[in-house]
Structure 1
Amino acid sequence: MNADNLDTEELDIENEDEGYPLNEYQLTTTPNDFNILTIVSFIESKVFKIPSFQRHYVWDLKRASKLIESLLIGLPIPQIFLYESGRNEFLVIDGQQRLMTIYYFQKGRFPRKEKRAELREIFDEHGYIPEDIMENDDLFQKFNLKLDGIVEGRENRFNGKNYKTLEDFKTSLDLATIRNMVVKPVSGDEENGAMFEIFNRLNSGGINLGGQEIRMSLYHSEFLRALLDMNKDERWRKILGKSTPDLRLNDVEAILRVFAMASYLENYKATVNGFINNFANHAKSFNQSKIEYLRSIWKHFLDGCENLDISNFRTSSNRFSIMLFESVFYASTKNAILENKLNTRPINEDFINSLKANEKFKSHIYGKTTLKDNVIGRLTCAEEILGG
C-alpha cells in the first residue's frame, strides 16, 4: 500500500455517514390548529423560532397575496412542520415562507426585495422585526394585496386591501386556522440527534442543508460563534487551500470536529455526525474562559503548522484529508487540553510523513472509517508516533 494513496476523503464529511440512526428514538407527531392571531403572537414572543440556516424571505407580493386570499376564502393551505425543542419553544422545520407572509401582512408591511438579506440578520438577532425597523420605508413597503383577475366584470374583492382595511373579513382572517404538525421524541432526546435528522429530512428549502448549517442553529452557542472567527485564520485558510470561508460551513465543521476528537473522544459511539452533534450540544455549556482557552489552543497549533508545506495535509489527488489533519491535531493537543494548558506538542514534516507511512495508521483509514475502532485507532496511533 502506497502512502500516496492515504486518503480520498474531501473536506465535506457527509459521505461518511448514511444519516443519524433515528431507529434509536420513538417520535410522535401531533396536529395542532393554530389561528392567525395565535401564530403572530407566537412569532413575536419567540415561541415559534425560525433557525438561522433557513433562507431569507423569497416570496413576491403576488404569491404572498394568494396565500392571504386562500386564508380569507377558507381554502386549505399546506401544513407547517414544527419541532418541539422545549417548553413553549417550537423550531420551524418547514413553513417559514407561509409564516412570515402572515406575520408581514398582519403588520401591514412587505419587505423590499433588495433588503431581505439585511432583514434576515435583524430577525436572527431579535427573533422578530422590531417596530421601528418595520416602519422603515427603506426596508419595507405597504402590504396591499395584489390579486389579478376579474370575475363577472368585477375586480377581485380583496385586491388592494391590507390588514386594516379588510373590514368584516379581518375577523375571519384572525380566526382562520393552519394545521401545524408538531414533532417530538417520546422520551428525552438527550443527544439531540433525532432533532438534527428531522431537520435534515423534512426541511424543503430547495437545497440539501449541510450538517454545520443545521448545527449553527440547533446547538447555537458562543463557542460555535467563536469557530467562525477561528475559521478566518490565514494559516488555516492556507492549509485548506481556500482563501475564503466556505458558504456551506464545511470548514467550520472541520474545526468543530477536531476539537471534538481531541477533547470528547470517550463519548464517540458509531457515527461522526452523531458525535459532532453531541459535542456541539455539550459546547453550549462552555463559559467564556473555556472558549478563550480553546481559541488559544487553535492558535498554538497553527503556530506549529506555520512552516509546514500545505501538501503535508493533502493526498496525491490534492485533496485536504480531514482524517490526517484531525489525527495530527489530536496528537499535538490532546494532553494540553486534558491538563488545561497550552503545552501543545510540536509537529514537523518528519512526524507527518512517518504517520502517513505507518501501516497501522493506514489500516484505520480504509473501509468504514467511522467505526469506533478505526477512529480511536488512527488517533492513538498518531499520538504514539508523536510521543516517540
Structure 2
Amino acid sequence: MNIELLDFEKENFEGKENKKVMLSEEEINEKYEIGEARIVTEQGAIKLPLVKDVFTNGKYDRKPIYQRRITWDNKKRSRLIESFIMNIPVPPIFIYEVEYGKYEVMDGLQRISAIMDFYDNEYALEGLTEWPELNTKKYSELPKKIKEGIDRRQISVVSLLKESAKSQEQEQRMKRMVFERLNTGGVKLEDQEIRNALYNGEFNKLCKELSTNTTFRKLWGIPVSVDEDNNTKELYQLDTVDSLDVADELALNNLYMRMYDVELVLRFFAMRHVNEYSGQLSDFLDKCMIFGNTILEENSDRGDVLKELFINTIEIANKMFGDKAFCQYKEIRNQFKWSKPQKMIYDSLMLALTKYDINSVPNNNKLITQYMEKAYKQNEEMFNGKKQSKTDILNRADFFEKIVQNILEGNMDE
C-alpha cells in the first residue's frame, strides 16, 4: 500500500538507535563503580497528620501528569487507613527531584489524597474487615485511642535525586525504568500510562484531546455526553490537582480507565509509519510519541493538520460502515456474528481511509453491510489475531482499500 505522508511526517522518524554493546567484566565493574545506570535515592518518612502540610508547601508538584485514570473509591481509601490502624506496611511514595529542593510526585498520589482527605473529614470509612466497628465514621468521629494510633503512623517517601541523571535523555530512561517497575495500588502500569507520564508533550496532549471525539468514542463503545448544543462534554473533571472525579459510565469502561483510548489515537498516527515498524509494537509506539512531540514542538500549527486528518478519517469510517466499522463478521459459538471492535481492523481500515474525502464516500446501508459480511467470510484467515507483523498490517490495509474502491465503483458483487 502506498502511504502518502505529510511533508513534516517524513522528518527523521527513526531518530537515534540504541546500540547494544558487549562489555568485558572489567568494564562492567568500572561501569558499576562510577554509578552509571544506578539511581541515587534518599529515604524518609512523614507522620500522617503532616502529609497535607508537606505536600502543599510549594516544593512538591502534585499535578496529575503521572496520574492514571484509575481512581480509588472510598472502600480502597478506607482499606489504606485500616492498614495504618493495624500498622501494616504500606508502599512508599516516590518523588523525583526536578531541581534541587523541588520535587514531582511520581507514584503515590492516590495515597497522599486518601490521607489528606481523611484528615479533612471528606469521607467516612467503609468496607473495613478487621475493624468493622469503625465503618461509617470519619476521622473526627473516631475514638480517641484510634485517632492517637493513626496520628503516630508514618508513610515512607523515596526521593530519586537529581544526581541520578546527568542529561535529559538519561532522566527519561531512568523515569521509564522506575515506571516499568512500580506497581501503583497493586495494578501494573500499562504502556500508554507510562507514555502519558514520560512523554507529556503537545502530541500526547493532542492524542488525549482526539480521544474525546464523539464519533471515535461511539465506534469504540466509550460513553459520550453532549451538552445542549450537541457538543461533547468530558465526563470527568479535575476539581483539584489531587482529585479525579470520573463519571460512573467511564469508571466502568476499561478502554478509558487504562488510557487504551489515547493509545488507539496514537496507533492511527503510528500506522502511517508502518513501513518503519520492526520489533515490539510498544517500542514502535514510544518512538512515534517522541517523534510527534518533536514535530509539534517545532511547529504547533502541525497539530491542527494532524487533528483534521484524524477527524476526517474517523468520520469516513463511521459514514461508510456505521457502528460495525472496526468489527469483524466471524463465527462466534457456531454462529456468524459481528464481533466487538478490534485493533487489527481499526489499524488497517483507518490507514486505508486516509486518502479519501468524506464527501466522496456513501452512507452506510444494507448493501455495504452484506458486502462486508461476505468479504470477512471469504478472508477469515487474514484476520487471525496472531497475524500482527508489518506485512499483515499492510495486507489488511490493501484489503480494505480494495473494499472501499469496490464500494465507490459499485462493484460489490466481487
TM-score normalised by L of structure 1: 0.55
Which one of 120, 145, 149 corresponds to residue 149 of structure 1?
Answer: 145
Q: Helix, strand or coil for the counterpart of 1:52?
A: coil
Aligned residue identity for 1:328: L
Aligned residue identity for 2:312: H
- Cα distance in 1 for partners of 2:141, 2:42 equals 28
Which one of 112, 117, 122 corresponds to residue 122 of structure 2?
Answer: 112
- Cα distance in 2 for partners of 1:188, 1:288 equals 22
Indicate the RMSD between aligned Cα atoms, in angstroms: 5.4
- Cα distance in 2 for partners of 1:28, 1:368 equals 39
Q: Helix, strand or coil for the counterpart of 1:32?
A: strand
Q: Look up the match of 2:347.
A: 326
Deviation at 1:259, TM superposition (A): 1.7
- Cα distance in 2 for partners of 1:324, 1:258 equals 11
Render the CA deviation track for 1:219-244: whole Å, top value 9, x for unaligned.
Answer: 33444444444334443344335554
Deviation at 1:98, TM superposition (A): 5.2
Aligned residue identity for 1:203: N
| 8 A Cα contact 1:191 1:278, kept in partner | no
Which one of 22, 39, 55 corresponds to residue 71 of structure 2?
Answer: 55
| 8 A Cα contact 1:33 1:177, kept in partner | no
- Cα distance in 2 for partners of 1:345, 1:43 equals 58
Aligned residue identity for 1:293: V
Aligned residue identity for 1:301: T
- Cα distance in 2 for partners of 1:293, 1:45 equals 38
Which consecutive unaligned segments of at least 5 residues does structure 1 have? 1-23, 115-141, 151-155, 162-168, 337-341
Q: Look up the match of 1:130.
A: none
| 8 A Cα contact 2:92 2:108, kept in partner | yes
Q: Look up the match of 2:266.
A: 256
- Cα distance in 1 for partners of 2:220, 2:115 equals 43
Q: Helix, strand or coil for the counterpart of 2:279?
A: coil
Identity %: 21
Which consecutive unaligned segments of at least 5 residues does structure 2 have? 1-19, 22-35, 125-137, 225-249, 333-338, 407-414
Aligned residue identity for 1:252: V
Deviation at 1:32, TM superposition (A): 0.5
Render the CA deviation track for 1:268-324: whole Å, top value 9, x for unaligned.
Answer: 332222222332333334254222222211222234231324335312241212212
Q: Look up the match of 1:16.
A: none
Q: What pairs with 1:1-388 in structure 2 (closer than 5 Å)? A: 27-34=37-44, 40=54, 44-46=58-60, 51-53=66-68, 55=71, 59=77, 63=81, 79-82=92-95, 92-96=105-109, 99=112, 110=120, 112-113=122-123, 148-149=144-145, 158=148, 178=156, 180=158, 182=160, 195-196=175-176, 198-244=178-224, 246=253, 247-248=256-257, 249-262=259-272, 264-265=273-274, 267-285=276-294, 286=296, 287-305=299-317, 306-315=319-328, 316=330, 317=332, 318-333=339-354, 349=368, 356=376, 362=381, 365-367=384-386, 369=388, 371-376=389-394, 378-379=396-397
Aligned residue identity for 1:44: G
- Cα distance in 2 for partners of 1:200, 1:160 equals 32
Deviation at 1:265, TM superposition (A): 3.3
- Cα distance in 1 for partners of 2:377, 2:41 equals 57
Q: Helix, strand or coil for the counterpart of 1:33?
A: strand
- Cα distance in 2 for partners of 1:194, 1:368 equals 33
- Cα distance in 2 for partners of 1:266, 1:188 equals 29
Aligned residue identity for 2:54: V
- Cα distance in 2 for partners of 1:83, 1:377 equals 45
Aligned residue identity for 2:278: K
- Cα distance in 1 for partners of 2:276, 2:180 equals 23
Aligned residue identity for 1:273: S
Aligned residue identity for 2:183: N
- Cα distance in 2 for partners of 1:104, 1:311 equals 44
Change (3 A) 1:302 1:357: same
Deviation at 1:261, TM superposition (A): 1.1
- Cα distance in 2 for partners of 1:241, 1:208 equals 24
| 8 A Cα contact 2:40 2:160, kept in partner | yes
TM-score normalised by L of structure 2: 0.52
Change (3 A) 1:43 1:294: farther
Number of aligned pairs? 303
Q: Helix, strand or coil for the counterpart of 1:220?
A: coil
Deviation at 1:257, TM superposition (A): 1.0
- Cα distance in 2 for partners of 1:144, 1:198 equals 37
- Cα distance in 2 for partners of 1:330, 1:207 equals 33
| 8 A Cα contact 1:260 1:276, kept in partner | yes
Q: Helix, strand or coil for the counterpart of 1:55?
A: coil
Residues 41-50 or 251-260, more deviating = 41-50
Change (3 A) 1:212 1:298: same
Q: Look up the match of 1:124.
A: none
| 8 A Cα contact 1:270 1:372, kept in partner | no
| 8 A Cα contact 2:67 2:109, kept in partner | no
- Cα distance in 2 for partners of 1:146, 1:62 equals 16
